[in-house]
Amino acid sequence: MKILVATTNEGKLREIKSILSDLDVELLSLKDMSKVIEVEEDKETFLENAIKKATTYASFYKIPVIAEDAGLEVDVLEGYPGVYSARFYSIEYGGKLEDESLSKDERNNLKLLKLLENKENRKGRYKTVVVYYDSDKGIGIWTEGVCEGEIAQKPQGSGGFGYDPIFIPQGYNQTMAQLPPEEKNKISHRGKALNKLKELLIKTGVVEIGAKS
Ligand code: IMP
């Protein structure tokens, strides 16, 4: 059986493949598709964005799809960056940070650190919603994963992606980017949501355990 993991983000793809590696399925990514269609993530919640991606890709490619939408919510910023996490640097909230010499991730992180300057409450959380959708069989499943933590004073570490260099998971004194990938997968929002999805896919008989050789 083939499932399309609807992402072009290498960091996410690596994590998703590693977590689902013991299933008897062939995981494809958008990079394996000859034609890639763009799906705009313009909804107000992670769930709506993930459903939009899963249903659009499933009807276009005619195979079951796993899609997810994730982001970082910071308490003193009313939940921002939230659904704007990927392009936080470019939105009006908190002022735009357009510095072409920096990567998008670096711009996002810098803007967040600036907004949190002198803030005592640095609590936040990563959230992920994962959707599995098979239009042929009419199966739709969604799960959520949350990883509580706080925003560091400065970036540290080179693992992971996105906000990982400035996100310290609860109970740790290192950033997510300083943790080994297996450790991140154990505690991360994406790890939790995907493990729940895996359990449901096995329970409902959609997939079986057994690594694809
Ligand atoms: P999307 O789910 O592709 O819309 O991306 C959301 C954005 O949230 C990413 O571009 C990252 O900036 C951020 N993000 C989501 N998951 C993670 C994670 O595990 N670590 C760091 N940043 C993340």
List, for residues 105-134, the tens digit of each pLDDT value.
999 999 999 999 999 999 999 999 999 999
Task: Give the amino acid at 92.
Answer: E
> What pLDDT score does 100 carry?
94
Q: Could you give the count of Cα atoms lying within 13 Å of 68 in the half-sphere of its Cβ?
A: 27
Rounded distance from Cα 21 to ligand 1 centre (Å): 21
List, for residues 87-110, the tens digit of each pLDDT value.
999 999 999 999 999 999 999 999
Rounded distance from Cα 90 to ligand 1 centre (Å): 15
Cα angle: 150, vertex 152, 155; to 5 degrees: 135
Pocket of ligand 1 (CB under 6 A): 9, 41, 69-72, 85-86, 108, 126, 160-164, 188, 190
Cα angle: 163, vertex 189, 185; to 5 degrees: 90
> What pLDDT score does 120 carry?
97
Rounded distance from Cα 85 to ligand 1 centre (Å): 6
Q: What integer best gives the mean pLDDT of the chain?
A: 94
Catalytic residue among 24, 32, 42, 69: 69
Tokens 């008989």 locate to 205
Residue 140: helix, strand or coil by DSSP?
strand
Nearest to 104 by CA among 125, 85, 82: 85
Tell me: pLDDT of 212 over 80.
no
Question: CB-based contacts of 84: which residues, under 8 Å, 6+ apart?
Answer: 71, 91, 93
Q: Among 72, 88, 89, 156, which residue has the most ligand 1 atoms within 8 Å of its CB, making it the best to mutate?
A: 72
